[in-house]
């Protein structure tokens, strides 16, 4: 009849499943189930009902890790950089604004047509007066977000959320040499926590801030301090929302993170930017050598970079409120620092906070 023949593959070839596809489908389905469970927990918390801690088993963590979140995050990053047609920008950004409750009145540029792609929209700057920096308190919030936990570090363990902890040493990695941080040598045999405390009578404190997708994505210096060292841990990119942080012990130690360490007037000070799903890119403005979410890495590895050199004996001085870095979507900031025993946090667990507002003071 002159019609073209349609050639079809055997049914067995069409439906052939490969191990990778099985892992993606299984892991993705389980991740979706966990999202639904997280939503139910959030609803219970809003009603004031105490939710018991139920930690993930090893096989559940392994299954979650089977989802190629690093690959998906790189793909999401590429998609975010695609320039949108002018006519499409307002509908796309308006949907995002409605979904995550973004306040565009605070943005330096409110016109949605100005942002060429999603990446530019995520990294939008704020009006100068939108976030006044508190001048009274010694430590301010480095970002917008939700306070997950805060307080003194005890027994070398830090709480990521109430009742779920992680190892201080696993999170920060081996102690940076005292020559780089200008610290006196701690007596041998002391715990990792005691080695970080450089002045008698001081304690070690921590604060965890979760940045939701609708939050302002830049982060700033929380105090006047000097950054001497950067440690980059490649790793997983699991979600860090409060529900997952309550479910996976040492979640922050599994995920990719950038640890900045240095000192302030009371001793040791550190700020850690923790990566998450779709947040493979962590940028530190003064660190051009940092490249996160690379295609391959060795499990358990990390790389160090010192900001102290022959030309710069002091490191990178940062003023309170100064721009420090940015995420591509939203993630977590962890502060771990030394301060006198009378340091007090002005916070409540679960409260919303904005960049520039007080965290605590002496």
Tokens of 342: 């009378």
Q: What is the pLDDT of residue 142?
A: 95
Element (H, E) at 306: strand 303-306
Reference 273, options 312, 320, 324; nearest CA is 324
Tokens of 66: 């089977």
pLDDT confidence band for 42 (50 / 70 / 90): low
Alpha carbons 94 and 99: distance in angstroms, whole number: 8
pLDDT confidence band for 311 (50 / 70 / 90): confident
6, pLDDT greater than 90: no
Q: What is the pLDDT of residue 98?
A: 92
Q: Which residue has the higher pLDDT, 338 or 236?
A: 338
The pTM of the full predicted model, rounded to 2 decimals, is 0.81
Q: Note if 331 is an active site residue.
A: yes
The percentage of the chain sitting over the pLDDT mark of 70, rounded to a whole number, equals 81
Q: Note if 182 is an active site residue.
A: no
Q: Note if 111 is an active site residue.
A: no
Among 73, 137, 143, 144, which one carries the catalytic annotation?
Answer: 144
Among 206, 220, 229, 266, which one carries the catalytic annotation?
Answer: 220
Residue 152's SS3 state is strand
Reference 119, options 157, 66, 163, 74; nearest CA is 74
End-to-end Cα spacing for the chain: 90
Among 138, 143, 221, 331, which one carries the catalytic annotation?
Answer: 331
Reference 133, options 318, 288, 277, 285; nearest CA is 318
């Amino acid at each position: 009849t002159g019609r073209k023949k349609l050639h079809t593959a055997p049914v067995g070839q069409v439906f052939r499943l490969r191990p990778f596809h099985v892992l993606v489908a299984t892991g993705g389905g389980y991740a979706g189930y966990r999202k639904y469970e997280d939503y139910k927990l959030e609803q219970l918390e809003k009603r004031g009902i105490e939710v018991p801690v139920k930690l993930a088993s090893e096989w559940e963590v392994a299954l979650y890790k089977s989802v190629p979140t690093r690959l998906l995050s790189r793909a999401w990053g590429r998609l975010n950089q695609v320039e949108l047609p002018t006519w499409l920008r307002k509908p796309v950004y308006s949907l995002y604004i409605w979904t995550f409750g973004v306040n565009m009145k605070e943005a330096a540029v409110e016109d949605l047509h100005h942002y060429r792609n999603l990446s530019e929209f995520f990294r939008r700057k704020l009006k100068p007066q939108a976030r006044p920096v508190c001048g009274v308190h010694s430590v301010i919030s480095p970002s917008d977000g939700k306070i997950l936990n805060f307080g003194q570090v005890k027994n070398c363990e830090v709480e990521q959320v109430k009742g779920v902890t992680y190892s201080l040493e696993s999170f920060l990695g081996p102690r940076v040499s005292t020559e780089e941080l200008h610290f006196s040598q701690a007596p041998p045999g002391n715990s990792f926590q005691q080695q970080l405390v450089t002045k008698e009578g001081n304690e070690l404190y921590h604060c965890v801030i979760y940045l939701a997708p609708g939050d302002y994505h830049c982060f700033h210096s929380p105090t006047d301090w000097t950054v001497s060292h950067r440690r980059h841990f490649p790793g997983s990119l699991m979600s860090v929302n409060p529900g997952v942080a309550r479910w996976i012990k040492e979640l922050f130690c599994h995920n990719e993170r950038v640890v900045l360490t240095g000192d302030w007037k009371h001793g040791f000070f550190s700020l850690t930017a923790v990566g998450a799903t779709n947040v493979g890119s962590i940028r530190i403005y003064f660190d051009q050598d940092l490249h996160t979410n690379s295609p391959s890495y060795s499990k358990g590895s990390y790389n160090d970079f010192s900001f102290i050199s022959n030309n710069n004996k002091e490191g990178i001085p940062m003023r309170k409120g100064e721009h420090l870095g940015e995420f591509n979507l939203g993630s977590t900031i962890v502060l771990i620092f030394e301060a006198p025993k009378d340091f007090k946090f002005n916070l409540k667990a679960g409260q919303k906070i904005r960049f520039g507002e007080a965290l605590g003071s002496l």
